[in-house]
A and B are shown apart, each in its own frame.
Chain A
Amino acid sequence: MKPDWTGVWMSERVRHLVSRGSRGLRRRGADRTSGRNFVPATLLGLVLLSGVGCADRERLPLTPEEFTARGWENYSAGELDRAVEDFGRAIGIDGGFGPAYVGLGWAQLGLAMSPSEMGTAAATFGTAAASQSGPEVDAGRAAAELGAGDLAAAVTYAQAARSEGSFTFAHRPSIDTTDLFLIEAFAFAAQGQFEDALAAADAAPVTDSGITAADSGSWQVDGTSYPTFESAVLAFLHQLSEEYAG
């Protein structure tokens, strides 16, 4: 679902314009001590504050922090292309600005349409990790590695994220600690390690499977019996995916 941009845009626009106007005043004041231009500038600001002619204008963040902040806003709003653009601008301003790489990684993750693009996202998280830490980085990296097919890495980063305590992704709260367990479980499963996959899934703070490898009678999910342990584990992972993934 696309967000209602109207309210966001208006409030941001006002704040942006106010901020831009004051910075412009400061800059101009610094450049030009003459008060000749003060009045027109003020008038222009008032006009803009009144909303007249604002539809044709966009805010223009100037710092990496601002671009990053706007990037997250766009990310949260589902505007991933814009988010990528903002994070990219932040990086363009400051190539060592770690938070922008975090955001860029999540945005790339959200846009990836191939394992290679997932790999790109994973690499971005790797860059971010050089200066940033925390579950947000590792969680994104784990998801990206899962998509890129580096399943061992996916397990590693999912476990790393879990080790940093309870996690809820601030910019998409539906992604939380349970997803870290799921990434780990899915990565194990894709490696054919179904007992490890089940252990990770059962460790998630949600439903317990009740499945054990040695007891074929336990190979049931939602009342359906499965002929093999593997198929039962996969059915349980599917159930978790449907209810909790992302």
Chain B
Amino acid sequence: MDRFVSVVRTRVSRRLLRRTVFVACGILLGVLPGLLPGASYSVETAPPSGPGAALGDTPPTVSIEVPGGGEQYEGGSRQNIEYTVFDADEQPLTVTIEHSTNGGTSWQQLLATTNTNGSFAVGWDVPNTTYADGRVRVTANDGVTGPVLTVSNAFSVVAVGSGTNTLTVGTNSGGVGSVATLSVGLANDDVVKRLEMDVVFDPEILSFQGVSRLGRAVAFEDTSFVVTDGTVRVLLEPPSGQTIAEGSGSILSLSFQLDASGQSDVTPSGVVLTGVAENALDVTPVAGVLTVTGGAVPVISLVAPQGGETLVGGGVETIQYVASGGSGDLSVTIEYSANGGSSYVASGTDLVNTGAFLWSVPTAPTTGGRIRVTASDGTSSASDESGVFSITTSSGGNVLAVGSADGAGGAVVTVPLTMTNADELKALQFDLLFDSGVVAFSSAEATGRGAAMDLTMQTVAVGRARGVMHYSTEQALGVGSGEIATIHLQLLGTRGAQSVVEPTAILLSDADANEIPDGIGQPGVITVTSDPVGPPRVDLSVLRNPGRPRHLQVFVAVSNGSGGTPQVSAGSANVTMASLGGGVFVGTVFLDPSVTSVTVTATDTVGDATGTDSETVRY
């Protein structure tokens, strides 16, 4: 505080020394109660001289030397007020010194004293508040001519940081994949002009998204940029002389993308809080915490169908949806209601969140169809459902329909080929169209109603297989409905892939080889439910009959296989295998006594991956 000790500029008149001492004593006795301690003394100076000097009823004059205008004082600092009073009559003058923080609208008295002619300086502790139009007024009254006053030019005062300022980052939580915000609050005793800080966080858990201004700082301008991985620098400053007044409340919001579950401190570091006098303010930073939980709640919105549509039974419709949120991958369930939503049956479960699902429209007509889609992250789920739509079916005609099937990538699935014919058929030809990236034709055989027909089927182009079925006898396929063949398709795609398998180019003929027009094809949908998993594991076990060692039981256990029957050979002969379930197959081999050894080989193929095992039996 030494620098605040008053400095008094004196011009001493030896002649008046005794009077000065008298005045000083008067001050000390309380005559000058408005003066601050240690500042309350004055000395009489030599009287002014000059042509205007007069005696008797001449009013006094007052001038203020300091402040002279334009000064900028720090709040709380000690400054001098220097003034000069002169009375030509050398009457004692009653002097009042006042201060205004608002340009003279109101005044607060600092000092009332008695001066005789001279220049005086009084010490003054500047209030620690900020104002731009400060004034000092000095009034001298000789008791005869009335008071004379002078007002200083304007000066300003800026408060300095003597108060407590606390910058606090809030706490929040959210699920993985979501965005969370943390508010930054400022409780400041000092007026703040600018804020600069680094925000430090765990980059393994959070990614910085941005800053937005709040409340008390909304009129400011902000700048933020990444300094290092896990550190962001934030600047907040006024566009034109604005400040954050004393008080408390939010000033900023920090946004983070929540990348991984866990907890990250969000710490203000290197905080620089600047006062209006460009002075650094003391500030206490308080870190916040952002807790990332397992995940946000999934959100799903059904895009199509929305309701009001009329769908054709037996056809394929694309169900479109948008699903997001949640922790980790979402699985989607598609359900269908034929009764307006009273009850649902699953059309697809544990589906990959692709945003679309090829749906085989049921053949049963309804006016109360609804689709419900549900997205789940395993912890929480969300659903959306369509409005009511209708399903109609075509009647009559000869309908060739392909069934639908699901299977793992690489597996071979079997779908029925069903014929509903109103005419007696002797032969039929059809093409199956499919997505060659998802499905490959494998094989087919005549079954059911068509078991007595000859069937040949093969791939004729990319994504197209052609089948021909006919009777080589006098038989014909009577009017009716039911399976006529089974078709084996290999799944080439990865999990979630789907393909429509559509019968087209259908040619039907009657017993006289006349074409029957208007064959109708109804498509099926093939869905890949899981990714292909490596080559199949094939374990071959050849068991010798203890009573007849040349009778061999051949067992094949297949894991991650095609689901079909493995190919087994003994020497050059194929071995017929029967399934025991669970990927185990059994067959029998009888060896001629002349055979001294035979190699048994078992093979199963999924896509391009082949698993094999072999064993040589010797006698």
Contacts and interface: CB of A to CB of B under 8 A. Distances in A.
A175 B548 CA distance: 10
B546 A147 contact: no
A45 interface: no
Interface in B571-619: 580-584, 586, 588, 590, 592, 615
Interface in B549-572: 549, 551, 553, 555, 557, 559-560
A98 interface: no
Interface stretch (A27-35, A49-57, A206-214, A232-240): A232-240
Interface in A75-134: 106, 109-110, 112-115, 118
A143 B542 contact: no
Interface in A223-246: 226-228, 230-231, 234-235, 237-238, 241, 244-246
A175 to B, nearest CB: 6
Interface of A: 106, 109-110, 112-115, 118, 139-140, 142-144, 146-147, 149, 175, 179-180, 182-183, 186, 189-192, 194, 226-228, 230-231, 234-235, 237-238, 241, 244-246
Contacts, number: 109
Contact of B546 (A189, A228, A246): A246
20 contacts: A109-B547, A113-B590, A118-B548, A118-B551, A139-B547, A149-B588, A179-B547, A182-B543, A186-B553, A190-B555, A190-B580, A194-B584, A228-B559, A228-B582, A228-B583, A230-B582, A238-B542, A238-B555, A238-B615, A245-B543
B545 interface: yes
Interface of B: 537, 539, 541-549, 551, 553, 555, 557, 559-560, 580-584, 586, 588, 590, 592, 615
B547 A140 contact: yes
B546 A112 contact: no
Contact of A146 (B541, B545, B583, B615): B545
A245 B557 contact: no
Contacts of A143: 545-548
A238 B543 contact: yes
- In the A-B complex, the 3 residue pairs with the closest CB atoms: A143-B547, A179-B546, A231-B557
Contacts of A230: 557, 582-584
* A186, A228, A234: most-surrounded residue (chain B CB, <10 A): A234
Given A115-B588, A190-B586, A235-B539, A228 B557 contact: yes
B595 to A, nearest CB: 11
B601 to A, nearest CB: 15
A144 B547 contact: yes
A178 to B, nearest CB: 8
Contact of A237 (B541, B545, B547, B549): B541
A194 to B, nearest CB: 8
A183 B546 contact: yes
A246 B548 CA distance: 7
A26 to B, nearest CB: 41
Contact of B592 (A113, A139, A191, A244): A113
B549 A245 contact: yes
Contacts of B543: 182, 186, 189, 237-238, 241, 245
A118 B548 CA distance: 9
Contacts of B586: 189-190
A109 B548 contact: yes
Contact of B541 (A149, A183, A227, A235): A235
Nearest to A145: B547
Contacts of B541: 234-235, 237-238, 241
